[in-house]
């Protein structure tokens, strides 16, 4: 992995931070944060995208390390059986 991927990996997986795509782009000087997440997912890390609502009612989507939902696991299992 390159250094940018390692730094995002450290934030999401080791430090368990929840980051938006804009935060990843700004903090780690990444032009395409979606590629970083894609790379981490392809390496087997369950990086999820979840919606969060703040106290003012504003909704944001953040990436976090965690177990994929059971629906996702079921779809993946069905695909592997093909």
Q: Average pLDDT across each block of 10 residues of the chain; the chain has 82 residues. List them in order.
A: 90 93 95 94 92 90 78 51 54
So what's the pLDDT on residue 81? 54
Tell me what pLDDT residue 36 has.
Answer: 95
Contact 31, 19 (CB under 8 A): no
pLDDT at position 70 is 46
Would you state the structure tokens that stand for residue 70, as one six-digit string? 């059971």
Write phi, then psi, for 59 (nearest 5 degrees): -100, 135
Report yes or no: 16 and 64 within 8 Å, Cβ to Cβ.
yes
* pTM given for the model: 0.76
Block residue for tokens 């990444």: 30
Choose which CATH entry (3.30.930.10, 2.160.10.10, 3.40.50.300, 1.10.10.10) describes domain 3-80: 1.10.10.10
Residue 71: the pLDDT is 46
Query: 64 vs 11, 31, 35, 79, 80, CA distance in Å?
Result: 9, 19, 15, 24, 25
CA distance 69 to 78: 14
């Amino acid at each position: 992995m390159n250094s940018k991927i390692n730094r995002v990996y450290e934030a999401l997986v080791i430090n368990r931070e929840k980051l938006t795509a804009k935060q990843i782009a700004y903090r780690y000087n990444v032009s395409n944060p979606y590629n970083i997440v894609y790379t981490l997912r392809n390496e087997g890390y369950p990086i999820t995208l979840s919606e969060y609502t703040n106290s003012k009612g504003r909704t944001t989507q953040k990436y976090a390390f965690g177990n994929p939902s059971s629906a996702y696991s079921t779809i993946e299992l069905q695909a592997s059986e093909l």
